[in-house]
Amino acid sequence: MVVVRTARASDADAVLSLTAQLGYDVERSGLQARLGSTLAKPDHVVLIAEDAGHAIAWLHASVWEYLEADRFVVVVGLVVDKTRRRQGIGRMLMAHAEEWARARRCSIVRLWSSVERATAHEFYERLGYSRIKTQYAFAKSVDADRDDDLTRFVPRLDAETL
Ligand SMILES: CC(C)(COP(=O)(O)OP(=O)(O)OC[C@H]1O[C@@H](n2cnc3c(N)ncnc32)[C@H](O)[C@@H]1OP(=O)(O)O)[C@@H](O)C(=O)NCCC(=O)NCCS
């Protein structure tokens, strides 16, 4: 039976391999550190879907606040193991994230998704999400020695990750 729970530091390895399926090849030590610091933040939640003790999906959400808008929840990342898709697991995680948003008195859940992720777009629309606008993403490296860091924000999207 699939259950949803909040993440623990010991989920780092499972989160790492699922993150690769999202198209990001991250280093274990960095991910482990970021998972630890994220788990300590009250305005963030990392949810794990687990089946028989195995983590098969994760969702990260956080509360954001803009000057021009009331607090809202952003689904920062979501991935379901490729062998377990179309089994209602993504839907289950999103329902928990929406409940988490309501509990924080946020009336809106929003997210951004690369144009190539057509499957994910169908999924979000099926769950009642609307395409509210189309945007370009801009970024600049301000450390000449670390220009490569920019590429970390660009997922590898191919048959493995879509
Ligand atoms: C997008 C993703 C999270 C969906 O998770 P999932 O567990 O497979 O989705 P669910 O089984 O809960 O699907 C719920 C509904 O969404 C729709 N849906 C899901 N996958 C779909 C697909 N490939 N094509 C069309 N509709 C789809 C269906 O209506 C589905 O209901 P149904 O199976 O009863 O028809 C998963 O495919 C995934 O991890 N993709 C790769 C990573 C990714 O794109 N993440 C999002 C980044 S923005």
- Chain centroid to Cα 16, Å, comes to 12
- List residues bridging with 59 in a β-sheet: 47, 78
pLDDT digits (tens, 9 = 90+) for 3-21: 999 999 999 999 999 999 9
pTM, entire model: 0.95
Q: Is the CB of 113 under 6 A from ligand 1?
A: yes
Hey, whose CA ends up nearest to atom 19 of ligand 1? 123
Q: Is the CB of 70 under 6 A from ligand 1?
A: no
Whole-number Å distance between alpha carbons of 9 and 13: 9
Q: Is the CB of 80 under 6 A from ligand 1?
A: yes
Cα–ligand 1 centroid distance for 4 (angstroms): 17
Instruction: Give CA torsion, residues 29, 33, 38, 41, to 10 deg.
Output: 180
> Given the structure tokens 């509210």, which residue do they identify?
132
pLDDT digits (tens, 9 = 90+) for 42-66: 999 999 999 999 999 999 999 999 9
Whole-number Å distance between alpha carbons of 157 and 118: 11
